[in-house]
Amino acid sequence: MAPQYEFMDHFDPLWDGSPYKAVPTDKPDFIEYANQLKTTEGFHVEVIPKSKYYSLIVPERVDSKYTIEAANLAVEEFNRLKGADLKLSKILNANCLLVSRALFFLTLQCVDGCFYEAKIYLGFGTESNELVMFRPAKYYPRPSRKDNDTNEEGCSEA
């Protein structure tokens, strides 16, 4: 069983799980992309529409310098804020949205055997880092998988 922490999981109306409301000019690949994001709160995306007109949440390599930095910062900041003692074991999935800072959507496994999701802004230059979410994983394994081998606390059933 996972240790009981006060997790950071504030409601964000952008990620309410409701279907994306398409407009007539939307292309089918964008509608599919938007629905993937809405149903997984940005943690999983497989279809990426081609566009130069809007910022996209896109997959990021789990072994990239910035993904590793964001993951370590997320765990460290959660530990600092909540008095936890989690240690990162593995980065399972990463998505990123580049705005003035990089917003990472991370799926992590810690040495306690549990899976977590974190959203963290990684600042560039004078921009600061900001952990905005850290919680037991809701979308791991990926929602499309039929076998669900995690319990409600995001820990392995093994």
What averages of pLDDT result for each successive group of 10 residues across the chain (158 residues)?
64 63 79 83 80 76 96 96 95 91 95 95 85 92 52 53
pTM to 2 decimals? 0.79
Residue 151: its pLDDT value, please? 46
Residue 103: its pLDDT value, please? 92
Based on C-alpha coordinates, what's the Rg of the chain? Answer: 16
Please count the other Cβ atoms lying within 10 Å of the Cβ belonging to residue 106.
Answer: 27
How many angstroms separate the CA atoms of 106 and 64, rounded? 13
